A and B are shown apart, each in its own frame.
Chain A
Amino acid sequence: MAMNDTEHRPLAGIRALELAEVWAGPFCGALLGDMGADVIKIESVQRIGRGPIRPRDGNPNYPDGEPGERPWNRGANFNGVNRNKLGITLDLTSPKGVDAFLDLVNLSDLVFSNYKFGVLDSFGIGYDTLRRVRPDIIMLEMPGYGNTGPYREYRSMGMTLDAIMGHSSLRGYPDLDRSLLTPVHHPDAVGGVTGVFAACTALHYRARTGQGQLIDLAQSETFISHIGEAFLEYGMTGRVRGPRGNRHPAMAPHGCYPCLGDDKWVTIAVRDEDEWEAFCRALGMPELAADRRFATLEARLKNQDDLDALIGRWTASMDRYEVTRLLQGRGIPAGPVLEAGGDIFDDPHLQEREYFQFVDHPDAGPHLLSGPIWKMSGAPEPLNNPTPPLGQDNERVLGRLLGLPDEVLQGLEEENIIGTVPLEGADLGGVRRVANRT
C-alpha cells in the first residue's frame, strides 16, 4: 500500500506507526516518510495537538489569518512538520481502539512515540504487549528524559531541555542577563533526527538477525553530544564555558554587522592572517592590516569592540548580499542573516537546488513550502505530500488496509473511537482531563 513513488527509496515497503506530538516524534515521522516509508500518524478526536479548536480571527498561524471551518487542519505549526504521512484517529482509551491499533502493529515494522514515560503503558500498548502481537516489532520511545531515572515523569519541552542540558548557559549576549534569552527549541529537533538514526539502525539489525528492539531514546541526551567538546574543556582545563554571543576565541573579526535596510544583517568570519589582509583590501583599507590595534589575532581579540564598530560603519552603507558577494569572491566566509520565511524563498542557491515545493493542502490550500532536508541519488524527486487533515485516512487504513467493513467503521465513528472532528475540550490537553477537573 504505497502512497509514494518508491523508486529506490531506502525505506520503501516499511510501515511505521506514529504516536507523537509537537516536534521530536513528528519530525522523525516526516523524515521517514521522505524516504519512502508508509508513516501512519495516529491521533484522536479526544485529544489534538493541532492548536486551539476556536482560534481568534487574525491569528497569523492560519492562511490569511482566517481559522476557517476546520482550524485544526489549517495551522501552520502543525502543517509544517507533518508532511508525507497518512493520518488516522483512534481512541486508545477504548478497547476497540486498542484492538485496531494492535491489528495495525501486526502489519507494521516500527512504532514510535515521544509521549512521556508511562503513557503508552496506561493505554495497554507497551512494548511487551506489542511484542506478543508481533515479536519482531521495533518500538522507539523518545520522551524528553528517557524511560529511566529520577526525571522520567517530568514534563519537558525543547526549551526546558535546552536549559537543563547546558545549551542555555552557552548562548546569548555575554553582557546581558540570562533572563533575556530567546526560547530555543533545539533538543527536541535533535531527538527527531536521532530517532530516525535509531529506527534505521534497528531495522538494519533486524534485517540481519530477525530480532526487534525496544529503543530508549532521551531527547535531552541526543543533544548533549552536540556540545561534547565543552565537557572535555572542563575536564582538561577546569574552565566552565560561558556564552560567547557571536564571537569566537580563535577568529577575529567574527560577528554580525548591520546593513542597509530595516533589521538587515550580514555575518563575517576571518579565519587567518591571509584572510585578514584580504579582508582589509576588500574594505578598501589595506593599511588596516598592519594597524597595531589589529595586526595579530591577539590584538584583534583585545580590541574587538573597536574592530566591530569599524566594520559596522562599513557594512551600514551596504546591502547584505553585496557584502556577501564581495567577501565570498575573495574566499572569505560571509553570509546574510535570512528569515525562516520571507527572504529565504528568494535565495537563488536554494531555488536552484529545488529546495522549495508547492504543496496543495485540502483545507489550507496551495503554498510554497520546503520538504526533504537531504538528497539521495536513487530518489531524485522530493516527496512533499501535504500534512493529513485529522482522520483523513481512516477509511484507507482501517477500511482497506485492516479490512474493517463500512458498518464497523460507522459504528466506531458513532462511538467517537474514530472521527475527523475534534471533540469539545480536545485542545485543552484532552477531553478526559477536562472532565476529571470539573
Chain B
Amino acid sequence: MPYLALEGVRVIDAATGVAGPFCAKLLADYGAEVIKVERPGTGDSSRATGPFPDDLHHPEKSGLFLHLNTNKRGVTLDLANPAGRDLFRRLVRESDVLVESGPPGEMDSLGLGYQELADSNPGLVVTSITPFGQTGPHSGHEFTELTLFATTGAMNREGIPAREPLKYCGETAQYFAGNAAAAATMAASFGSLLSGRGQWIDISIQECMTGHPHQLSRRTAFAYSADDDSRQEPHTSFFSIVGEAYMVGTFRCKDGHVSILPVGSSMWPNFVRMVERPDLLDNPRFRDPTEREERHLELEAIFQPWLDARTKEQVFEAAHEAGLPCGPVLTVDEVMEDRHLVDRGYFTDIHHPDAGTLTYTGLPFHLSDVPREDQRPAPRLGQHNREVFGGMLGVGGDEMAALEAQMVLGESGPA
C-alpha cells in the first residue's frame, strides 16, 4: 500500500534549466522516487544561476537549483560516453517515467530515444520538454524566457501603449510548461497503469503558454471579430469581455497598492457600499453600466481619496466585507508573513548540508487520505552515485571505481 501519493513511482530526471526539473520536482514532492541525472563536473546549469547566500557563487548553494530539486536523489553520468549511456538505459529500464530536455533529436542520436527505451519498458512515459517542441522550423531556435515569452501572444498586451510591451516576472512561461508537463506526465502514468502502454509526451514551452486561457480568450475574440489585443491605458480594460467592469486594475492606497476587479453588474452596489456612498445608487449620472463605463474617471475621482485614506490591509478587509475581489500588492517578504499562508503552513523550512536551513515554497495541494511528509533538500552533485548504481543497479565496487576514473561518473559525494 503506497504511503505517499506517488510512492513507488520511479522517475529519472535528466532535464536541466527550469521547466523539466520543476516538472520532476512536483512528482518528487508528492513522494515519487526521483533520481536526478546530472553531467559530471558542472551538473545542471541552474547550479550556476543563483541566488547565492551573501552573493558568493557555490554550486551547492544556488537558490534556483535548491528550489527546483527538492526531494530528489542525485547521480552523475556522462551520456557522451557509451558506458554512461549503458548505465542510463539500465536506470530507465527500472523506471516508470523519464523527464528530459535535450534539443530535439539529441536523445535519439545517443540511442536513448523514446522508441528504443520503450522497447524494453513498454509502460514507460517519456516527457520531453523543449522551448519549441520536437518538430517544426523553429525547433532548433535558441531561447531565453524573454525571447520565448514574446512569441506566445502573452506579451503584446502587457504594459502601457506609450511604452514597450512587458514580460511577466522571472521564468513564468518555463514554470507554467513544467507544471503542465507534470499534469501530462501523471495522466500518461495513470493510463500506463491501466493499459501497460506509456506515451512519449512532446511539451513545447511556447505551445503551453500560447494555449493559456488568457491567450485562448483573446485568440477566440480575434477569430470571431478581429478584436485586437493591444496595450490599453490602465483601469479601462475588460469591458468587452464581461459586459461591465470599470476601475479594474492596481491602485495606490495609503501605504502601497491594491489590485481590484469589480466585474459584473452585481459589483456596482457592492462598490458603492464599500466606499460608503449609497447616494451613488440614486445618482442619474451612474444609473446604468454604459454611463458608469463612460464616466469611469469620475468614479475614480471618488475612489482614489477613499483609497488614499486606507492601508492595503484596510482596503482588503473592506473589499471583503463588501464582496469585491481585491488583493493587496505584497512583496516577497510580506508574502512569507501573510497570515493566511502562515495559518495554512504553506512555507516550509528545509535544511541543506551546505546551504543551511532556508524557507522554501510548499506544496500546491493536499490530498485528504495521504500523509504529508517533511520535505527533503536538493541533492549534492553525485551524492547518491553509490546508493543508486551500487545499491540499486548492483554495479560492483571495482567497476564503480573504474567508471569514476574514466569520468563516466563524477566523484561520489559524501552520502
Give the tally of cross-chain contacts (CB within 8 A).
566
A101 at the interface (CB under 8 A from B): no
CB distance from A351 to the nearest CB of B (A): 9
Residues B224 and A61 in contact, CB atoms below 8 Å apart: yes
In the bound complex, CA of A331 to CA of B339 (Å): 47
Residue from the list A205, A338, A379 in contact with B152, Cβ < 8 A: A338
Docked complex: A229-245 residues within 8 A CB-CB of B: 229-237, 239-245
Residue from the list B26, B327, B338 in contact with A156, Cβ < 8 A: B327
Stretch at the interface among A118-126, A187-195, A296-304, A394-402: A187-195
CB-defined interface of A333-362 with B at 8 Å, one 1/0 digit per residue?
Answer: 111111111101001111011010000000
Residues of chain B within 8 A (CB-CB) of A240 are 331-333
Docked complex: A183-225 residues within 8 A CB-CB of B: 183-186, 188-190, 192-194, 196-198, 200-205, 207-209, 211-218, 221-222, 224-225
In the bound complex, CA of A201 to CA of B11 (Å): 14
In the bound complex, CA of A229 to CA of B333 (Å): 13
Q: A62-B225, A192-B213, A235-B359 are in contact. Are A169 and B258 (CB under 8 A)?
A: no
Residues A160 and B325 in contact, CB atoms below 8 Å apart: yes
Residues of chain B within 8 A (CB-CB) of A328 are 138, 141-142
B204 at the interface (CB under 8 A from A): yes
In the bound complex, CA of A350 to CA of B212 (Å): 15
Residues B194 and A207 in contact, CB atoms below 8 Å apart: yes
CB distance from B217 to the nearest CB of A (A): 5
Select the residue from A188, A227, A437 with max chain B CB neighbours within 10 A. A227
In the bound complex, CA of A157 to CA of B202 (Å): 31
Residues A51 and B242 in contact, CB atoms below 8 Å apart: yes
Main secondary structure of the interface of A (DSSP, over half): mixed
Residues B180 and A267 in contact, CB atoms below 8 Å apart: no
CB nearest to B363 among chain A residues: A221
Residues A149 and B201 in contact, CB atoms below 8 Å apart: no
Q: A340-B222, A371-B211 are in contact. Are A183 and B248 (CB under 8 A)?
A: yes
Q: How large is the interface on A (under 10, 10 to 19, 20 to 34, 35 or more residues)?
A: 35 or more
Q: A181-B249, A265-B164 are in contact. Are A221 and B362 (CB under 8 A)?
A: yes
Residues A332 and B219 in contact, CB atoms below 8 Å apart: no
18 residue pairs of the A-B complex, CB under 8 angstroms, read A61-B221, A76-B241, A149-B341, A150-B343, A155-B325, A163-B329, A183-B238, A200-B189, A203-B186, A217-B364, A221-B365, A229-B170, A236-B358, A246-B164, A256-B167, A336-B150, A374-B181, A376-B201
CB distance from B325 to the nearest CB of A (A): 4
In the bound complex, CA of A427 to CA of B82 (Å): 64
Residues of chain A within 8 A (CB-CB) of B248 are 159, 183
Residues A254 and B207 in contact, CB atoms below 8 Å apart: no
Residues B147 and A333 in contact, CB atoms below 8 Å apart: yes
